[in-house]
Structure 1
Amino acid sequence: MEWLERMNRAIDYIEANLTGEIELREVARMACCSSYQFQRMFSFITDVTLAEYIRRRRLTLAALELQRGGTEKVIDVALKYGYESPISFARAFHALHGITPAMARQEGIALKAYPRLSFLNTIKGAEAMNYRIETKECFEVFGIEGIFRVDGGGEPPQTPAKLWEQSHANGDVKRLEACAGALPSFVSHDLYPVQAVCSYRKTEPDTFPYMLCAFKGDGSNTDGYTSICIPAHTWAIFSSEPHPWDQFDRTIDLLYKRFYTEWLPTSGYEQADGLEFEMNGEKDGLNYIELWFAVRKMQ
């Protein structure tokens, strides 16, 4: 299938450049998506970040070279796999393998190996997924914007979850809720007033925009907030079963994972620039989640 072929082309490029520079833009180009989209998909599908996968593969190959018992110096192996000093290489090697690079030359020493990843079409889907496809005209949202690194880094580290936490603690969510106005007619009226939208504009290759947002309509007060227009799109909308709040993280992660591993590879659709909404609402006293993915039919 074309989606699987794209993902495997990206892995081919990574594997061919483990001893050189890996351009994330080129990885994403192979997969026909943005750098942010690819890294996000990769993490949900494999349960490991792209950076960690590359690190494991390089240290796996480095260990194999050392174990073969050649005359190559440890510093030469370190440089070959992207480490600027033997100290940084030794630390990374020990963290993965539990031994020093020099010990890897000993006969019978135990090492860890992380094999090359391949994307395959496996049999899944015994459990039903609740989704619908809807086309919506353009609409506007407004709210509190943050720009985040894909790897979650920064000083201090910042993530969308921290933005939610801080905005609840300082009252920003309540203030945005008060400014929201009525929900538009094209969404479920048991949704909360404040939601989140992601990847609605281009930023740096390894960053993405994320906004705590409300729908703009009659009665909305947008003063002091960032406003954006969401173009007309086809949306694949996935709904969770109602659940208590303490199951929120597990529920949303599973919904994302099933979208990327079960629905997207076989649907004949692809994501449109990574644009998506995280919607939350309440039914019968329990929370539920809707994930909206902007999609288009694959050519």
Structure 2
Amino acid sequence: MSRPLLALLTAALLLPAMARAECAGQNILDSLPDADRSALHAAADAVPNPRGLLWRATRGDSTVHLVGTYHLDDPRHAATMARITPLIDATTTVLVEAGPQEEAALMADLARDPSLMVATEGPTLREALPDEEWALLADAMRARGLPPFMVSKFRPWYVSMLLAIPACDGAVAVAKGGLDGMVIDHATGRGIPVLALEPHETVFRLFQSMSFEDQLGMIRSSLALEPRSADYAVTLADAYFAEEPRLIWELTRHLSLTAPGADVPTVQADFTRMEQTLMTDRNRAWIPVIEQAAADGPVLAAFGALHLPGETGVLRLLEDAGWTVERLPL
């Protein structure tokens, strides 16, 4: 899943220590009318490479294995690691969204400049949001162990990232780092270089380019899913392990568009903007990094699964650059 890096790195610091509360919701797809479920699958299948988590890209003598990851902890990752461990061991370089050096640099930036995450001027979220929306946000943050008065001062893009972490998963799931963390730990233990696909400040730059109102739109999109957060978390994980990453995106959009009181044009615009900012722009920037690493030997690149499919997904962009991509059994 393409959860943006900053939430995964900092939420564990902000949320109080707690026992892991497993998400015990129901799979939303199972409860949808047949017509809606079919429409979602059709929408997912309309883009290139909608299914699959493990791929091989070749061009000449160069080989890159690509693994779509899920950033939260799940016992099902053990089987995935068993499958990809021989691929990691055979690589010259492992590429991830953020390696240990980037994590350390990010934490240092936050310690040095809290304004990266906390607004020092302009309206607080309590002042910017209507009472009804603020009440929903306050409840959602309390469920994550965060006092609303503190959240009110956070930059809105960061709050949207906190909302992306299901309350029922809590800080423990985030702290473990999901499949990404497992890949990094294994490669580091074997002495295989782990390099980042992007500079550690990328997430900051992406969101700094968005207006305050656009960032509020991200909060609203997240709040639309909050009443069914446990169901949503279970559904996302199930879809991921069913190797259907694009279905995750289509379902998220569907739930936001059909939420009570949703303004359809606004939601559509928000999703277009988020896809461009959080996925497309980053995907394009990753291609030369992957190609440069592949020039030195076999590469395994592990990153959020939502970056794989689509017209501007990593797989299609590699194809456009002359690579042949092949889905492998996971």
TM class, shorter-length: under 0.3
TM-score by length of 1: 0.23
RCO (CA 8 Å, sep 6+): is it higher in 1 or 2? Answer: 2
Q: Give the structure with the larger helix fraction.
A: 2
Q: Give the structure with the larger strand fraction.
A: 1
State the structure with more CA Rg.
Answer: 1
